[in-house]
């Protein structure tokens, strides 16, 4: 998975040059030349780091940095300035910037600063889950969807075991939250769960991060280092984006799962580890197996227990409770009055397919709440592509409206029995399922 970076500078030529250079280094770089463009990208993209010019034309880079932090407080911001002064650097850091670089930019140095910022994003040691993730009760209160409630029950059952668990689902559906909840309900809940994003590290660094090294293992290894398998002993280890893990590391993971032991880089002795193993992916691992990019034996070792987290478009009945949650969250983080959404906004949210899922919904709500000048969020407060999706712009035609109402009536008359409904409507079950999805009917 490419690392996603946003460059914000009023010099479009500089933005393009930096974006091209970062792309050659394996980044997916996008850019904005003013505040409004930047805020829309922040609301819509799953960013990992931001480069922001302190002098942004008519806009103030420091003010924009504060707005971004209100919307996405966990994204590190690196400030860029042509006016290298201790005072401006200190001011930027005090306002929450991760670091500071000055023009003329030295690209190698800039990459090093960005990589350091990425390491902060993928910090592996997390706080106790009671303070950091939805607990047993709060997770249940954030859904009314039958599929999610069934998932919740399965999580509780698996939490009582030490089986490795593979969590599958699209980007932004909440796979990491599922891992947090699973750990918080397990017998290991009193120890910290450690997390590693496999896509965030080159192969050599990932090997070192997972398994550690002995003193003198390589140039610069002046002391021994414990990898996360050792640090997670008697706790849980969560490996995100496991589909991006190199094959050589997959082989070592498999041996660790089988033998419950690791060997540090440059070491001879094996070290016993007692670790509950959770992994997540948004990829089709069976397809990766066919393409020779994922080990089949590791897949079946992980596949002992699999959890699927459905996309938001399949659980739109959860929109009201999720909206309220993120509105409460924004008010709490910004210590401002809680806002609500207009009926027009809610109808747009129902129509929208949410390709970025829960993460996108959260970012859109935080963005709209930050830019809205009134107590009620209206269409004008939404990012432009959502704003243009007006309730009137996507109304169903008369035939579709009649068909939807007929399906709903028949479902009610059959006590929501889909097989009987399909028979009464003289259509195949697959056709019925397609129409349920088309009209956003969730059972």
Q: 412 and 381: one domain?
A: no
Q: Say if residue 282 is in the same domain as residue 144.
A: yes
Instruction: Decide if 9 is inside a domain.
Output: yes
Find the CATH number of the domain harbouring 135: 3.40.50.300
Number of domains in the chain: 4
- Once rounded to an integer, what is the mean pLDDT over residues 95-108? 82
Average pLDDT of span 224-239: 93
- For residue 240, give the 3-state DSSP assignment: strand
The confidence band for 58, taking pLDDT boundaries of 50, 70 and 90, is confident
Comparing 20-29, 46-55, 64-73, 175-184, the range with the smallest average pLDDT is 64-73
- Given 308, 323, 342, the domain boundary residue is 308
**Mean pLDDT lowest for which of 90-94, 175-179, 182-186?**
90-94
Judged against a pLDDT cut of 70, whether residue 331 lies above it is answered with: yes
Task: Please say if the pLDDT value at position 93 is more than 80.
Answer: no
- Mean pLDDT, the chain, as a whole number? 85
Task: Tell me if the bond preceding 47 is cis, omega within 30° of 0.
Answer: no
Backbone angles phi, psi at 34, to 5 degrees: -155, 175
Contacts of 402 (CB under 8 A, 6+ apart): none
Give the position of tokens 């042509």.
82
User: Residues 26-37: what's their mean pLDDT?
Assistant: 88
DSSP for 315-340 reads: -GGGHHHHHHHHHHHHHHHHT----E
**Structural tokens at position 222:** 């002046």
How does DSSP classify residue 396? P
Residue 443 lies in a domain: no
> Does residue 105 lie within any of the structural domains?
yes
User: How confident is the model at residue 400, as a pLDDT?
Assistant: 67
If asked whether residues 23 and 154 sit together in one domain, one would say: no
**Looking at the structure, do residues 73 and 166 belong to the same domain, yes or no?**
no
Residues 256, 217 within the same domain: yes
Structure-token pair, residue 234:
């008697």
Write the secondary structure of 163-231 as one string of H (helix), E (strand) and C (coil): CCEEEECCCCCCHHHHHHHHHHCCCCCCCCCEEEEHHHCCHHHHHHHHHCECCCCCCCCCCCECCHHHH
- pLDDT band at 271; cut points 50, 70, 90: very high
Percent of the chain with pLDDT over 90: 42
Helix (H, G, I), strand (E, B) or coil at 265: strand
Task: Judge if 231 and 254 occupy the same domain.
Answer: yes
Residue 365, phi then psi, degrees to nearest 5: -65, -45
The domain of 193 spans 129-308
Which tens digits make up the pLDDT trace of 75-88? 899 988 775 554 66
**What's the pLDDT at 223?**
85
pLDDT of amino acid 181: 94
pLDDT band at 399 (very low <50, low <70, confident <90, very high): low
DSSP 109-124: HHHHHHHHHHHHHT--
291 CB burial (10 A radius; 0-12, 13-18, 19+): exposed
CATH number, domain containing residue 22: 3.40.50.2300
**27 and 158 both lie in a single domain:** no
If we measure between CA atoms, which residue out of 217, 236, 234 comes closest to residue 225?
Answer: 217
Determine the pLDDT at residue 393: 46
8 Å CB contact between 372 and 339: yes
Is residue 284 located within the same domain as residue 251? yes
Q: Are 318 and 148 in contact (CB under 8 A)?
A: yes
Domain match, 198 and 250 both:
yes
Q: Are residues 413 and 363 in the same domain?
A: no
End residue of a domain, out of 121, 145, 176: 121
Is residue 301 located within the same domain as residue 332?
A: no
Q: Do 113 and 137 belong to one domain?
A: no
% the chain with pLDDT above 70: 88
Q: Per-residue confidence at 443, pLDDT binned at 50, 70, 90?
A: low
Q: Is residue 172 within 8 Å of residue 47, measured between CB atoms?
A: no
| Between 212 and 141, the higher pLDDT residue | 212
The CATH number given to whatever domain includes residue 332 is 1.10.8.60
What digits encode the pLDDT tens for the residues 400-440? 666 777 888 788 788 888 888 888 888 888 888 888 877 77
| DSSP string over 41-91 | HHHHS--SEEEEESEETTEEHHHHHHHHHHH-TTS-EEEEESS--HHHHHH
* Domain assignment present for 241: yes
Residue 189 lies in a domain: yes
- Looking at 308, 325, 346, the residue that finishes a domain is 308
């Amino acid at each position: 998975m490419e690392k996603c970076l946003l460059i914000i500078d009023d010099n479009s030529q500089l933005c393009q040059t930096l974006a091209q250079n970062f792309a050659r280094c394996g980044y997916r770089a996008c850019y904005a030349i003013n505040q409004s463009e930047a805020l829309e990208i922040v609301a819509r993209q799953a960013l990992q780091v931001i480069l922001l010019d302190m002098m942004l034309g008519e806009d103030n880079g420091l003010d924009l940095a504060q707005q971004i932090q209100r919307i996405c407080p966990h994204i590190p911001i690196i400030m860029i300035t042509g006016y290298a002064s201790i005072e401006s650097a200190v001011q930027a850091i005090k306002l929450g910037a991760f670091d500071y670089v000055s023009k003329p930019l030295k690209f190698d140095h800039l990459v090093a600063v960005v990589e350091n910022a990425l390491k902060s994003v993928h910090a592996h040691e997390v706080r106790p889950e009671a303070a950091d993730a939805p607990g047993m009760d709060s997770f249940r209160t954030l859904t009314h969807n039958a599929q999610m409630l069934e998932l919740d029950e399965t999580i509780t059952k698996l939490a009582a075991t030490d089986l490795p668990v593979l969590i599958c689902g699209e980007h932004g559906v909440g796979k990491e939250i599922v891992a947090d909840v699973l750990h918080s309900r397990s017998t290991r809940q009193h120890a910290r769960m450690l997390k590693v994003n496999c896509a965030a590290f080159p192969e050599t660094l990932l090997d070192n991060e997972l398994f550690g090294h002995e003193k003198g293992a390589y140039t610069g290894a002046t002391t021994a280092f414990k990898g996360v398998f050792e640090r997670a002993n008697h706790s849980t280890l969560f490996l995100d984006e496991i589909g991006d893990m190199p094959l050589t590391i997959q082989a070592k993971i498999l041996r660790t799962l089988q033998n419950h032991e690791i060997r540090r880089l440059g070491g001879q002795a094996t070290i016993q580890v007692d670790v509950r193993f959770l992994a997540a992916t948004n990829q089709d691992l069976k397809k990766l197996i066919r393409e020779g990019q994922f080990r089949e034996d590791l897949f079946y070792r992980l596949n002992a227990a699999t959890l699927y987290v459905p996309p938001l478009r399949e659980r739109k009945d959860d929109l009201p409770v999720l909206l309220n949650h993120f509105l409460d969250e924004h008010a709490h983080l910004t210590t401002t009055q809680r806002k609500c959404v207009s009926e027009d906004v809610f109808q747009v949210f129902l129509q929208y397919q949410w390709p970025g899922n829960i993460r996108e919904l959260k970012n859109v709500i935080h963005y709209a709440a930050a830019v809205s000048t009134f107590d009620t969020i209206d269409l004008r407060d939404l990012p432009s592509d959502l704003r243009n999706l007006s309730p009137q712009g996507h109304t169903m035609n008369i035939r579709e409206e009649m068909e939807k109402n007929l399906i709903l009536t028949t479902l009610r008359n059959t006590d929501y029995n889909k097989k009987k409904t399909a028979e009464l409507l003289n259509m195949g079950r697959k056709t019925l399922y397609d129409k349920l999805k088309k009209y956003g009917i969730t059972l």
